[in-house]
Structure 1
Amino acid sequence: MTDLEDMSCYISDRISSLQRMLDLSVIEFPQNQIKKLKVEIFALEKLLEEFEKYVDQQKEQLKHLKELEKLFQRNVEDAQHIKENIPTHMPKKKGLVSGKESVMNQKEAADVQPAQPSQPENIKKTSKKFVREMEFITMTEFESIPQYMKGRVTYDQLNAAVNNINTAMTAKYKIFNQSTKTLNNNARKLHQRFKDQETKQTKGQYFVVEDDIRDFTQMKVDKRFQGILNMLRHCQRLRELRGGGLTRYVLL
């Protein structure tokens, strides 16, 4: 039983006891019994007052619990909405990530537009050096892009392109940062190509070219790709550096 139920039962018993005493009122009571009856009635009045206070407290608590229930229900609905509308790509803090971590991130983002890079075999799985990644575009940044520049490209498609560029960047620099002694013939050719593409302006910078996109992703390098690059430049994710008949897309 709850405290409220216990008190209710106790008061009910006292009232029944008093009712029986009143039913016997036709009989002349001794003086001490009359005093006892007055004491019982006075005690019962006090109990009823306490009972009313307790009932009011329970009503107030019930009201508070109902408010909490509504708040909890709204939180559940909000959580469900968030669960059903999680962005495909979540923006990350700026910083450097290792090559191994980059590969893991690409696998996690592969559900939108999976890239299946055909990387050369016999390449070491880890590298002591680090490879930067391009940050995903936030919804606020996407909305700031002029409509004529976006065309029909959606938010998810733009970030899928970021994912592919990161895949190419990671694959390229995993090869570039290794000793040629550890690479097979195909990887050595790529290593030499990457080295030949370096200039004084790109020293210490991370960049890819169109051939890297073709070699390491399934993304088409076409007019639509050029439009996506314009949007990424607008969002200050990369810049173009031309020279030697080659356009380098340098990560900012």
Structure 2
Amino acid sequence: MKDNIPVHMPRKKVPVNGNETVMNKNEAADVQLAQPENVKKTNKSCIREMESITLPEFENIPQYMKGRVSYDQLNAAVQSINAAVTAKYKILHQSVKTQNNHARKLHQRFKDQETKDTKGQYFVVEDDIREFTQMKVDKRFQGILNMLRHCQRLRELRGGGVTRYILL
């Protein structure tokens, strides 16, 4: 069994001659942290997510744009948008043969919404946010989208009767 340990599993060095040193906990943690990063880079289905708004960025948003939206509410909206993007692109990356009927319909809708301008970029539309999150798409949400555009977290692209929110 010792000879057939998978390469992705971290190993402790065993002192054989006394010349080799045993890995301490910090080095073992470094090895474990370094390996998932390499796996993440090679994985094609890595879905891009929007970064949370920092406090200085929130303070730089003009007051007329903020209204009554708090810092926590804005970041909760960012997390909801990230959840919608993740759910959408999980379906898009999935093989059509393995999808059920509902997922196939969604997959086709997502493909129809793509244009040459959005090719290769992650975007959501209001229907995706309604479908995959508990958020209401109302005036308040439109204000949150304006704040996110102001902080350069997303870009709005209109066309074909659909407004696409592209993640930056």
Give the TM-score normalised by structure 2: 0.74
Tell me the distance in 2 between the aligned counterparts of 1:243 and 1:181: 30
Select the residue among 114, 138, 142 that pairs with 1:198: 114
1:104 corresponding residue in structure 2: none
1:128 is displaced (CA, Å) by 4.8
Aligned with residue 154 of structure 1, among 55, 70, 73: 70
Residue of structure 1 equivalent to 2:24: none
> 1:168, 1:132 → 2: CA distance?
12
Q: CA deviation at 1:178?
A: 1.3
Residues 1:233 and 2:138 are matched in the alignment: no
- DSSP 3-state at the match of 2:58: helix
- 1:61-210 counterparts in 2 under 5 A? 128-210=44-126
Distance (Å, rounded) in 1 between the aligned partners of 2:97 and 2:159: 30
Instruction: Give the corresponding residue for 2:138.
Output: 222
Runs of 4+ in 1 over 6 A off after TM superposition: none
Larger Cα Rg: Structure 1 or Structure 2?
A: 1
Aligned equivalents of 1:247, 1:177: Cα separation in 2: 22
Q: CA RMSD in A?
A: 1.7
Gapped regions of structure 1 (runs ≥ 5) = 1-97, 99-126
Q: CA deviation at 1:174?
A: 0.1
Output the CA distance in 2 between the equivalents of 1:138 and 1:144: 10
| Cα distance in structure 2, aligned partners of 1:128 and 1:139 | 32
CA–CA distance in structure 1, aligned partners of residues 109 and 137 of structure 2:
19
How many residues are matched?
Answer: 129
2:123 aligned with 1:245: no
Percent of counterpart pairs with the same letter?
A: 82
Higher relative contact order (CA 8 A, sep 6+): 2
**Cα distance in structure 1, aligned partners of 2:155 and 2:45:** 23
Q: Please name the residue that 2:17 is paired with.
A: none
C-alpha deviation, 1:130, in angstroms: 1.3
Higher normalized helix content (fraction of residues) = 1
Amino acid aligned to 2:107: H
- Partners of 1:214 and 1:173 lie apart in 2 by 15
Task: Give the TM-score, by structure 1 length.
Answer: 0.50
